[in-house]
Structure 1
Amino acid sequence: MRESLRSKVIEVCDAKIAQKGDKVGLSFYAFFKNKNDDPDLLMEAATWWISTHKLDHFEKAQRIKAMVLAGK
């Protein structure tokens, strides 16, 4: 996963956790605007989420952040 996407994931997870608490869930779409203005980056996130880690559609933000920080 490229560094810009890692940074965005951590930023979004932190914001969601601050807003809704430790148990908040999110999908990989949370890292993007409603526009598909960067399809390559969207596919990179989807591949990481779905193919590489076989995550459910919604996962806890805490888990996603921990995985990204661990370099997974």
Structure 2
Amino acid sequence: MKQKIVAVCDAKIAKKGSNVGLSFYAFFANKNDNPALLLEVATWWIQTKKLNHFEKAVKIKELVLQMS
């Protein structure tokens, strides 16, 4: 999942610039085909990191790259 998040952030930054914001939904398809993974990412985003609904892609990428 970390690789996918970094790839999505890179693509959005390349397309819309370093000021682009994302929500955790940006890393999933429109249909909920993996609810456990969605919940894991949502928990990390909301409870662990206490992020707002939309955050800068560069910030998200940095946080993910800092994870071991």
Q: Same fold (TM over 0.5)?
A: yes
Task: Give the TM-score band, short-chain normalised.
Answer: over 0.9
> 1:38 aligns to what?
34
State yes or no: 1:7 paired with 2:3: yes
Distance 1:18 1:38 in 2: 27
Q: Which runs of 5+ in 2 are unaligned?
A: none
1:64 paired to 2:28:
no
Distance (Å, rounded) in 2 between the aligned partners of 1:19 and 1:33: 19
Cross-structure match for 1:53:
49
The code of the aligned residue for 1:31 comes to F
* Distance apart, 1:24 and its partner CA: 0.2
TM-score, length-scaled by structure 1: 0.92
Q: Which residue of 2 aligns with 1:28?
A: 24
User: What TM-score does the superposition give when structure 2 sets the normalisation length?
Assistant: 0.97
Partner Cα distance (1:52, 1:68) in 2: 12
Question: Share of identical aligned residues, percent?
Answer: 65
Shift of 1:49: 0.2
Deviation at 1:20, TM superposition (A): 0.2
Aligned to 1:17: 13
